[in-house]
A = this chain, B = another copy of it.
């Protein structure tokens, strides 16, 4: 393993619950009342797929592209308010510092988009030199493989030498499609069984436990 590719929300920053509440409010404003657990489950999907899945589940007429765009904007605005503190998850900052110091290649591949993710990157201490592939970089976000493949390509290592770290079913699906070995963290609130079922080869509590386990994953300076 020569290069690590990280998801952002729920993997490095504690933003999944803020995304959940922001989507729930944005959808409620549009007259679509959805239980929080049904949204939580879908965080990490592209906004389009999340909204389409929810409207189908609730047997609503499909929304227009314009309506989906408006919902995505409202979600972004509500999320920025709710996630003003941008808390990194346990072990995330020190793991990134360790990789940086050890000159182990790594990047971030996230469905979320700039400028929404800037405060999170700042809270993690990520400067302009770290590779960040965001939702604006590809046409199709997770669970498609495009984000991970783009990050892998720009890191310059073959898929067989990369390791993906995510927290959601959609990270594991996208990793599988990209042909890249993946492990999962429980810090986004997904269930361990769901993550193993979705293709995680190992599940850790959080970035801190992953950091302690890099040897068993054959990640070495």
Seen from chain A, the residues whose Cβ lies within 8 Å of a Cβ on chain B are 14, 16-18, 20-21, 24, 28, 33, 35-37, 40, 82, 85, 87, 89-90, 186-189, 191-194, 206
Classify the interface of chain A: helix, strand, loop or mixed: helix
Choose from B24, B28, B189 the contact partner of A189 (Cβ within 8 Å). B189
Choose from B21, B90, B187, B193 the contact partner of A192 (Cβ within 8 Å). B193
**Number of copies of this chain in the oligomer?**
2
Chain B's nearest CB lies how many Å from the CB of A106? 21
Chain B residues whose CB sits within 8 angstroms of the CB of A89 once the complex forms = 35
Cβ–Cβ contact B187 & A37, under 8 A = yes
Chain B residues whose CB sits within 8 angstroms of the CB of A40 once the complex forms = 17, 189
Choose from B28, B188, B194 the contact partner of A37 (Cβ within 8 Å). B188
- Give the CA-CA distance A194 to B16 in the complex, in Å: 20
Given the known A-B contacts A17-B20, A193-B193, are A37 and B87 also in contact in the complex, defined by CB atoms under 8 Å? Answer: no
In the complex, besides A17-B21, A35-B206, 16 extra interface pairs with C-beta distance below 8 angstroms are A14-B35, A16-B37, A17-B36, A17-B40, A18-B21, A21-B21, A35-B87, A35-B89, A37-B186, A37-B187, A37-B188, A40-B189, A189-B189, A191-B192, A191-B193, A193-B193
